[in-house]
């Protein structure tokens, strides 16, 4: 737990950079003239693409050159990799909060859940319970030998279908790993019980009165205070 807390921010920085630059930023499309990715993949496009980028992040974070660019010494590389993979597994588990009425409501969450399912299928991740809590565990010794091939296969499959514009097979494949069975529905009930409410950032307002006097106005940290702050700020 201490390792996770100390390195999660650094691992996330590496993940986001690879996700954006080498995930979203690469991949050849072999479409006919006039065709677009969103046009072919429709409502699945966003989650499918986010999954491709997220998978690229954990796959390529094993490249020592990338970790060195971010200033991580070689002796810390394995820890950064482990925490990044564990963070992804945890994110896939927590993503169930955004699965409602048989549908995924957030593209990144569906993407992370798909990756979690792939890692569970490969035997790299297991979910256990001690009757009060659920625990997501990742065997760091299996990352290179089992995890990397599994995620590599996921990446190859996602990219192949995307490059060819093969929506039919892409949907069959993606839906398989997006499916929330009864066991995961139970996990979701647990997550909804323990999840923290989203923070409310209630901003103060500086108001110029009488031509020269600056008045600092605060609002209560409630839903009403949040609305009052916005009304005050944008009423001019």
Please tell me the distance from the alpha carbon of residue 158 to that of residue 17, in angstroms, as a whole number. Answer: 20
Known catalytic residue at 50: no
Please tell me the distance from the alpha carbon of residue 114 to that of residue 44, in angstroms, as a whole number. Answer: 13
pLDDT for res 223 = 92
pLDDT for res 198 = 81
Model pTM score: 0.88
* pLDDT tens figures, 14-54: 999 999 999 999 999 999 999 999 999 999 999 999 999 99
Catalytic residue among 13, 20, 65, 121: 20
pLDDT for res 43 = 97
* Domain boundaries, given as residue ranges, for the chain: 2-194, 197-236
* pLDDT tens figures, 85-143: 999 999 999 999 999 999 999 999 999 999 999 999 999 999 999 978 999 999 999 99
- Give yes or no for a contact between 58 and 86, defined as CB atoms under 8 angstroms apart: no
Range list of β-strands (E), the chain? 99-100, 103-104, 125-129, 134-138, 205-209, 213-217
Neighbours of 114 (CB within 10 A): 28
* pLDDT tens figures, 135-191: 999 999 999 999 999 999 999 999 999 999 999 999 999 999 999 999 999 999 999
């Amino acid at each position: 737990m201490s390792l996770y807390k100390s390195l999660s921010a650094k691992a996330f920085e590496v993940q986001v950079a690879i996700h954006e630059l080498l995930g979203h930023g690469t991949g050849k499309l072999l479409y006919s003239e006039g065709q677009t990715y969103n046009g072919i993949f429709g409502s699945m496009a966003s989650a499918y693409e986010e999954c491709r980028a997220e998978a690229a992040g954990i796959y390529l974070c094993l490249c020592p050159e990338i970790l060195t660019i971010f200033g991580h010494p070689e002796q810390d590389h394995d820890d950064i990799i482990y925490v990044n993979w564990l963070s992804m597994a945890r994110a896939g588990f927590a993503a169930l909060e955004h699965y409602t009425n048989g549908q995924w409501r957030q593209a990144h969450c569906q993407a992370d859940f798909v990756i979690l399912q792939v890692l569970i299928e490969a035997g790299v991740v297991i979910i256990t319970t001690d009757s009060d809590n659920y625990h997501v565990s990742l065997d760091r010794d299996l990352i290179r030998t089992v995890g990397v091939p599994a995620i590599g296969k996921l990446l190859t499959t996602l990219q192949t279908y995307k490059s060819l514009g093969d929506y039919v097979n892409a949907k069959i494949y993606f839906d398989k790993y997006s499916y929330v069975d009864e066991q995961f529905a139970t996990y979701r009930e647990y997550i909804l019980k323990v999840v923290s409410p989203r923070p409310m950032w209630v901003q103060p307002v500086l108001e110029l009165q009488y031509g020269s006097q600056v008045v600092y106005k605060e609002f209560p940290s409630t839903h009403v205070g949040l609305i009052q702050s916005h009304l005050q700020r944008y009423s001019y």
